[in-house]
């Protein structure tokens, strides 16, 4: 058996990172991590969150301000190597209609304190729809 990128896709399943998020937040609140260790988002992520991110339904778990945004990036064939930042539901639907196997990453980012965390990884594209339908 070989280990390749295809084996990471999880057969079209959504990968949820809530447990690792909760652990990191708990470690911060227990004082085991400093704020500068968890609030280190890249400036481009903060720019995307500020300009095209959608508002989260909860406050930032670190600074507790209502500045938390959700940003979705899609990676795959015939997309830029740095991925494509999706700003609307319509744009995501268009990418989902493509025949390529694409992967979407949903990241939360606080534009106030620069907290960020990967929330979910999900398959996008027509070939993934076939896998989901057969499950």
Per residue in 22-69, pLDDT (tens digit) is 999 999 999 999 999 999 999 999 999 999 999 999 999 999 999 999
Residue 103 lies in a domain: yes
Residue 6 lies in a domain: no
Residue 2 lies in a domain: no
Q: In the chain, pLDDT over 70 holds for what percent of residues?
A: 84
pLDDT reading at 117 higher than 90: yes
Residue 25 lies in a domain: yes
Residue 110 lies in a domain: yes
**This prediction's pTM:** 0.83
The pLDDT assigned to 128 comes to 54
The pLDDT assigned to 2 comes to 40
For the residues 97-123, what does the mean pLDDT come to? 95
Residue 102 lies in a domain: yes
The pLDDT assigned to 72 comes to 96
Instruction: Specify the number of domains making up the chain.
Output: 1
Higher pLDDT: 87 or 128? It is 87
User: Which residues are CB-neighbours of 117 under 8 A, at least 6 positions away?
Assistant: 17, 20, 21, 24, 107, 108
β-bridge pairing 68-75 and 54-55: antiparallel
Look at residues 113, 53, 123, 122 and name the one whose alpha carbon lies nearest to residue 85.
53
Half-sphere exposure of 114 (CA within 13 A, CB side): 11
Residue 1 lies in a domain: no
Residue 130 lies in a domain: yes
Q: 12-16, 17-21, 69-73, 127-131 — which is least confidently predicted? A: 127-131
Q: How many angstroms separate the CA atoms of 67 and 128, rounded?
A: 33
Torsions phi, psi for 21 (to 5 deg): -65, -50
What's the pLDDT band for 5 if we cut at 50, 70, 90? Answer: very low
Torsions phi, psi for 32 (to 5 deg): -85, -15
Residue burial 61-94, b: 16+ Cβ < 10 Å; e: rest: bbbeeebbbbbbbbbbeeeeeebbbbeeeeebee
Which domain does 100 fall in, by range?
12-134
Higher pLDDT: 14 or 130? It is 14
What's the pLDDT band for 11 if we cut at 50, 70, 90? Answer: low
């Amino acid at each position: 058996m070989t280990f390749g990128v295809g084996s990471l896709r999880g057969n079209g399943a959504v990968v949820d990172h809530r447990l690792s998020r909760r652990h990191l937040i708990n470690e911060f609140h227990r004082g085991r991590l400093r704020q500068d260790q968890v609030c280190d988002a890249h400036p481009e992520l903060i720019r995307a969150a500020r300009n095209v991110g959608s508002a989260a339904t909860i406050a930032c778990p670190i600074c507790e301000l209502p500045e938390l945004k959700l940003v979705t990036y899609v990676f795959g064939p015939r997309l830029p190597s740095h991925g494509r930042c999706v700003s609307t539901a319509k744009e995501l639907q268009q990418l989902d209609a493509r025949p390529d196997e694409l992967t979407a990453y949903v990241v939360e980012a606080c534009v106030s304190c620069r907290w960020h965390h990967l929330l979910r990884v999900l398959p996008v594209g027509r070939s993934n729809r076939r896998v989901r339908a057969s499950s």
